[in-house]
Amino acid sequence: NAGVMQNPRHLVRRRGQEARLRCSPMKGHSHVYWYRQLPEEGLKFMVYLQKENIIDESGMPKERFSAEFPKEGPSILRIQQVVRGDSAAYFCASSPSNPLGQGATLYNEQFFGPGTRLTVL
Amino acid sequence: AQTVTQSQPEMSVQEAETVTLSCTYDTSESDYYLFWYKQPPSRQMILVIRQEAYKQQNATENRFSVNFQKAAKSFSLKISDSQLGDAAMYFCAYRRLAYGQNFVFGPGTRLSVLP
């Protein structure tokens, strides 16, 4: 059973270009979380998605950043017109659906992918 | 909003010795989860140990144990018999109890293990 997969592992972009980061959750998982880790800092939450829905985007910058998790295929984190400050490691984590229904208290393990390291020149 | 603080940016320990990493957090909730994650140079996030706030007993995983002081909002990690492979960044994290909640991470402590 493959773990959470992210690609590319390393991405280099010039200022003003677009960056697309992909996250394939573990098999059977329908929840995806994206985190950003700036150099020498901890991970910061960006967005939480379920299939075809954005549940919580409170950590997403208001401009240039967007995320989607379509019915088929991986989750995509898209950064338009990248700037040097976007250079960071971007991690996704996935978890399965709650069999007791959304909001019910049940521990859910979240599994992290290996991250994508974005460098903006 | 919840916050997590790690006051030790760097720590070092001699191989086979014991080291304790500190973590404090702030929350108004009474039930939640606390975690320690290890991030080696590969950058993979590896779960070390998890504690449920409603459990009074401190969690242990082999050489790793925690000292959870709920009233003081303190959650330290003790690594016994340190090994060279323990060298990494260690992140303390908080998560609300409800399903589908995101992690709130501290800034991390870089642990060096000296041979």
- Distance CA(B31)–CA(B95), nearest Å, equals 10
pLDDT at A5: 96
- Distance CA(B70)–CA(B16), nearest Å, equals 29
For residue A2, pLDDT over 80 is answered with: no
B28 touches chain A (CB under 8 A): no
pLDDT at B59: 93
User: At B84, is the secondary structure helix, strand, or coil?
Assistant: helix
Looking up tokens 């967005």 gives A47
Chain A residues within 8 angstroms (CB to CB) of chain B: 31, 33, 35, 41-45, 48, 55-56, 59, 89, 91, 93, 95, 98, 100, 102-108, 110, 112, 114-115, 117
Asked if the Cβ–Cβ distance from A44 to B98 is below 8 Å, we say: no
- Distance CA(A18)–CA(A66), nearest Å, equals 11
For B38-94, how does the pLDDT look when each residue is reduced to its tens digit (9 = 90+)?
Answer: 999 999 999 999 999 988 899 999 999 999 999 999 999 999 999 999 999 999 999
Grade residue A100 by pLDDT with cuts at 50, 70 and 90: low
> Mean of the pLDDT values across residues B17-36?
95
Chain A residues in contact with B45 by the CB 8 A cut-off are: 43, 91, 93, 112, 115
Question: Is residue A18 a contact partner of residue A25, using CB atoms and an 8 Å limit?
Answer: no
For residue A119, pLDDT over 70 is answered with: yes
> Mean of the pLDDT values across residues A63-81?
96
* Least Cα separation, residue A108 to chain B (angstroms): 7
- Distance CA(A33)–CA(A56), nearest Å, equals 9
- The residue of chain B with its CA nearest to that of A41 is B107
Looking up tokens 């984590």 gives A93
- Site from A37, A47, A90, A102 to mutate, B interface, most B CB atoms within 10 angstroms: A37
Grade residue A58 by pLDDT with cuts at 50, 70 and 90: very high
For A10-28, how does the pLDDT look when each residue is reduced to its tens digit (9 = 90+)?
Answer: 999 999 999 999 999 998 8
For residue A105, pLDDT over 60 is answered with: no
Q: Which amino acid is at B109?
A: T
Phi, psi of A99 (to 5 degrees): -65, -15
B56 touches chain A (CB under 8 A): no
What share of chain A in percent tops pLDDT 90? 78
Q: What is the DSSP string of chain A?
A: ----EEE-SEEEE-TT--EEEEEEPPTTEEEEEEEEE-TTS-EEEEEEEETTEEEE-TTS-SSSEEEE--SSS-EEEEE-S--GGG-EEEEEEEEE--TT-TT-------EE---EEEEE-
Answer with the residue of higher pLDDT: A100 or A53.
Answer: A53
> Across chain B, what does the average pLDDT equal?
94
- Distance CA(A45)–CA(B1), nearest Å, equals 13
